[in-house]
Amino acid sequence: MAGFFNALSACMVLLMLMSVGYFMGVRGWMTSAEKKFVSKFIVNIAVPCNCIVGLLNNLDREGIVRAAGMMAAGVVSVILTVLVSAAAATLLRLPRERWGVFVAMAGFSNTLFIGIPVCTQLFGQVSMPYIMLYYIGHTTLMQSIGMMLLERAGAKAGQKSSLVQFLKDVFLKPPILSVIFSIVLLALGLKLPGILMRFADYISGSVSPLALIYCGFIVYEVGLKNLRFARGLPTMLMIRLVLAPVIGMACCTLMRMEGLALQVFVVEGALPVVSQVTVAAGAYGADEKYAATGACLSILCSFITIPILMLVLG
C-alpha cells in the first residue's frame, strides 16, 4: 500500500503543478506564444541537461551493456500496442481522418512532458537512465510509424521523407544527442567538469514543473467543458492506460528485466497520449480536435490509473 499512497501523493503534486498552467491560461498570463517558448526550452535545453545529469550520475559501463536488451523490450511493447490499437480502430470502423489518430494516440505515450515528472516523482533521479532508454526506442517508432499513421489520416498531402531525413529527425533531436553524448563519455570512462555538471543540474530542475505547466495550459486550451467521450475514445483510453502497461510488463518479464528498470518501463508505457499527435494531426489535416480531446482525457485519467498501477507493481 505504501507504493499506492506514494503514487497518490505524487499525482496530487503533479496535478497542482498542472493547475498552475491552467490558471495562467485563465488569467491570460500564458498564450500560444509562451507555450511555444516553454516547449522549445524543455525539449532543446532542459531535457538534454536532465539526460546528462541522470545518465552520468546513475549509469556505468556495465549498465550500457544491459541497455540494449532493455531498449528491445520497450520497442517490442510499443509495436505490439500499436498493432492492438490498429485492430481496435478497424473494429470500431473509424473514419479515415480519425483511424490513424486513434492508433497513434493509443500506441504512443508521453515519455517527456509527463514521463519525466511522473517517474522522477515516483522513483527519483535514479530512474533517468531507464526513462531515456525507453525514450530512444519510443521516439524512433513515433517518428516513423506514428507520423506515417497521422499523415495518412490527414487530408493534406504530406511530404515524403527520405531515410536520411528520417535519421535526422530522430537522431538529431537534442535529448537523443545528449543521451548519445553521455553514453560515449561513460564508455570512455570520462566525466564532465564539475562546473558543467552543476550548470546542467540547475537547468534540469526546471523540467518537471515547466512540463506540467505546459500540460495544464493544453487542458485550458481545449477547455474542460469541451471534453467529450467521442466514439472510440473510451477504447483508446483503455488501451493507452490499461492494456499498454500490461503488454509492457509482459515484454519486460520475458527479457528478464526486474526492479526499478521494469517499474520505469511499465509506467512509461502507461502514460497519456504523446503531445506530438495533436500537433501533427493539425499539420496533416487530420481530426485535430479529436486528437486534442483524447490527449486531455488521457492526461486527466492517468492520475487515477497511475496510483492503481503502482499498487499492482508493489
DSSP assignment string, 199-234:
HHHHHHTTHHHHHHHHHHHHHHHH-GGG----TTHH
Grid coordinates representing 10 are 505524487
Residue 24's nearest CA partner among 11, 42, 12, 37 is 37
Q: Are 98 and 232 in contact (CB under 8 A)?
A: yes
Identify the weakest region by mean pLDDT among 5-9, 13-17, 43-47.
5-9
Residue 298 CB contacts under 8 Å (≥ 6 apart), including other chains: 105, 236, 237, 240, 241, 272, 273
304-314: per-residue pLDDT in tens? 898 888 888 87
d(CA 301, CA 303): 5
Can you give the pLDDT at residue 1? 65
158-183: per-residue pLDDT in tens? 555 566 776 676 677 788 888 888 88
103-138: per-residue pLDDT in tens? 999 999 998 888 888 898 888 888 988 998 898 888
Can you give the pLDDT at residue 170? 66
Q: Angle at CA 202, nearest 5°, toward 196 and 207?
A: 120
**What average pLDDT score do residues 250-275 get?**
92
Q: Where are the domains of the chain?
A: 2-37+62-127+136-159+208-313
Mean pLDDT across the chain, nearest whole number?
Answer: 86
Q: Residue 193, exposed/middle/buried by CB under 10 A (0-12, 13-18, 19+)?
A: exposed
Can you give the pLDDT at residue 269? 94
d(CA 241, CA 297): 11
* pLDDT of 99 over the 90 cut: yes
Please, what sign has the CA dihedral across residues 295, 299, 304, 310? positive
pTM of the model as a whole: 0.83
191-210: per-residue pLDDT in tens? 899 999 999 999 988 888 88
Better pLDDT: 1 or 65: 65
Q: Residue 156, exposed/middle/buried by CB under 10 A (0-12, 13-18, 19+)?
A: exposed
Residue showing cell 505524487: 10
Q: How far is CA 294 from the centre of its chain?
A: 15
Cross-strand pairs, 273: 109
Can you give the pLDDT at residue 207? 83
Better pLDDT: 56 or 169: 56
